[in-house]
Amino acid sequence: MDGRNGTRIVRSGCFLCHGGCGIRVHVQDGRAVRVEGDPEHPNSRGYLCVKGRAGIELLYHKDRLLHPLKRAGARGEGRWERISWDEALETCAAELKKVIGRHGPLAVTGGDGTKADEVAWIVDLFLLNLGSTNRTGPGRAQCMFPRRAASNATWGNYYTPDYEGDPRLIVLWGDQPEISNHNSILGYKMLDKRRGGAKLIVIDPRRTAAARRADLWLPIRPGTDVVLALSMMHVMIEEDLFDRAFVERWSNAPFLVDAETGDLLRDSQGNHLVWDKDQLLPVPNDWPGARPALCGAFDVHGRVCKTVWQLLKERCAQYTPPKAAAITWLKAGDIVRAARLYAATKPAALAWGVGLDQCINAHQNGRACAILECLTGNVDVPGGNMHPVPCHRGCRTFTDAFGETLPEEAYRKQLGADRFRLCSGPAAKRYANNPAVLRAILTGEPYPVRAWVAIGGNPLLTWSNAKEVYRALMKLDFFMGADLFMNPSLQLADIVLPAPTHFEKERLMETQGYGPFGNVRCVRAVEPLGEVRDEFEVCGDILRRMGMDRNWPWRTVVDFYDERLQEAGMTWREAVEAGGAFDRIAYRKHETGHYRKEGGFPTATGRAEIYSTVWRRNGYDPLPSYTELPESPYSDPELMKEYPFVVITGGRLPNYFHSQHRQVATLRRLHPEPQTQIHPEAAARLGIKKGDWVCVESPRGRCVQRARLFSGMDPRLLHVEHGWWFPEEEAAAPHLYGVFRSNANTLTPNADPFLDPAFGGYTLRGFAAKAYKVTEEQATRIAWEEAREAREETLTPSAR
Residue number, nearest CB to ligand SF4:
52
* DSSP secondary structure letter of residue 269: T
> Is residue 388 a contact point for ligand SF4 (CB under 6 A)?
no
* For ligand SF4, the closer CB: 37 or 347: 37
> Is residue 523 a contact point for ligand SF4 (CB under 6 A)?
no
User: Nearest approach, Cβ of 115 to ligand SF4 (angstroms)?
Assistant: 12
* For ligand SF4, the closer CB: 503 or 643: 503
Distance CA 351, CA 208 (A): 15
> Is residue 22 a contact point for ligand SF4 (CB under 6 A)?
no
User: Nearest approach, Cβ of 577 to ligand SF4 (angstroms)?
Assistant: 21
Distance CA 243, CA 480 (A): 53
Residue of 20, 390, 580, 761 interacting with ligand SF4 (CB under 6 A): 20
Distance CA 762, CA 360 (A): 7
User: Nearest approach, Cβ of 119 to ligand SF4 (angstroms)?
Assistant: 15
User: Nearest approach, Cβ of 337 to ligand SF4 (angstroms)?
Assistant: 32
Which of 2, 20, 50, 7 has the alpha carbon at shortest distance from 653?
50
Q: Which one of 9-17, 311-319, 744-752, 785-793 is the stretch in contact with ligand SF4 (CB under 6 A)?
A: 9-17
DSSP assignment of 433-462: -HHHHHHHHHH--SS---EEEEES--HHHH
Task: Give the β-pairing of 31-37 and 580-581.
Answer: unpaired
**What is the CA 251 to chain-centroid distance, rounded?**
27
User: Nearest approach, Cβ of 14 to ligand SF4 (angstroms)?
Assistant: 3
How many of the other CB atoms lie within 10 Å of CB of 17?
25
- Mask: binding to ligand SF4, 27-56, rule CB under 6 A, as x and -? ---------------------xx-xx----
CA angle 76, 82, 84 (to 5 degrees): 130
> Is residue 518 a contact point for ligand SF4 (CB under 6 A)?
no
* For ligand SF4, the closer CB: 20 or 456: 20
User: Nearest approach, Cβ of 93 to ligand SF4 (angstroms)?
Assistant: 34
Which of 389, 390, 394, 397 has the alpha carbon at shortest distance from 590?
389
* DSSP secondary structure letter of residue 638: H
User: Nearest approach, Cβ of 724 to ligand SF4 (angstroms)?
Assistant: 19
| Helix, coil or strand: residue 634 | coil
Instruction: Count the site residues for ligand SF4 by CB under 6 A.
Output: 11
> Is residue 456 a contact point for ligand SF4 (CB under 6 A)?
no
* For ligand SF4, the closer CB: 49 or 220: 49
> Is residue 65 a contact point for ligand SF4 (CB under 6 A)?
no
Distance CA 221, CA 204 (A): 8
Residue numbers 181-210 binding ligand SF4 by CB under 6 A: 181
Provide the b/e sequence for 474-499 (b: ≥16 CB within 10 Å): bbbbbbbbbbbbbbbbbbbbbbbbbb
CA angle 294, 298, 299 (to 5 degrees): 160
User: Nearest approach, Cβ of 43 to ligand SF4 (angstroms)?
Assistant: 9
Residue of 7, 10, 12, 14 interacting with ligand SF4 (CB under 6 A): 14
* For ligand SF4, the closer CB: 181 or 358: 181
Residue numbers 715-734 binding ligand SF4 by CB under 6 A: none
> Is residue 413 a contact point for ligand SF4 (CB under 6 A)?
no
User: Nearest approach, Cβ of 389 to ligand SF4 (angstroms)?
Assistant: 24
> Is residue 522 a contact point for ligand SF4 (CB under 6 A)?
no
Residue numbers 123-182 binding ligand SF4 by CB under 6 A: 181
Residue of 10, 21, 493, 653 interacting with ligand SF4 (CB under 6 A): 21
> Is residue 16 a contact point for ligand SF4 (CB under 6 A)?
yes
* Secondary structure of 298-322 in HEC code, one letter for each residue: EEECCEEEEEHHHHHHHHHHCCCHH
> Is the bond preceding residue 205 a cis peptide, omega within 30 degrees?
no
Q: Which one of 16-24, 229-237, 298-306, 595-603 is the stretch in contact with ligand SF4 (CB under 6 A)?
A: 16-24
β partners of residue 172:
202, 351
User: Nearest approach, Cβ of 23 to ligand SF4 (angstroms)?
Assistant: 7
* For ligand SF4, the closer CB: 141 or 509: 509
Cβ–Cβ under 8 Å, residues 679 and 673: no
Residue of 10, 17, 170, 185 interacting with ligand SF4 (CB under 6 A): 17
Strands (E), 192-320: 199-203, 216-218, 256-258, 273-276, 281-284, 297-300, 303-307
Q: What do you get for the CA distance between the two ends of the chain, in Å?
A: 58
User: Nearest approach, Cβ of 20 to ligand SF4 (angstroms)?
Assistant: 6
Binding residues (CB under 6 A) for ligand SF4: these are: 14, 16-17, 19-21, 48-49, 51-52, 181
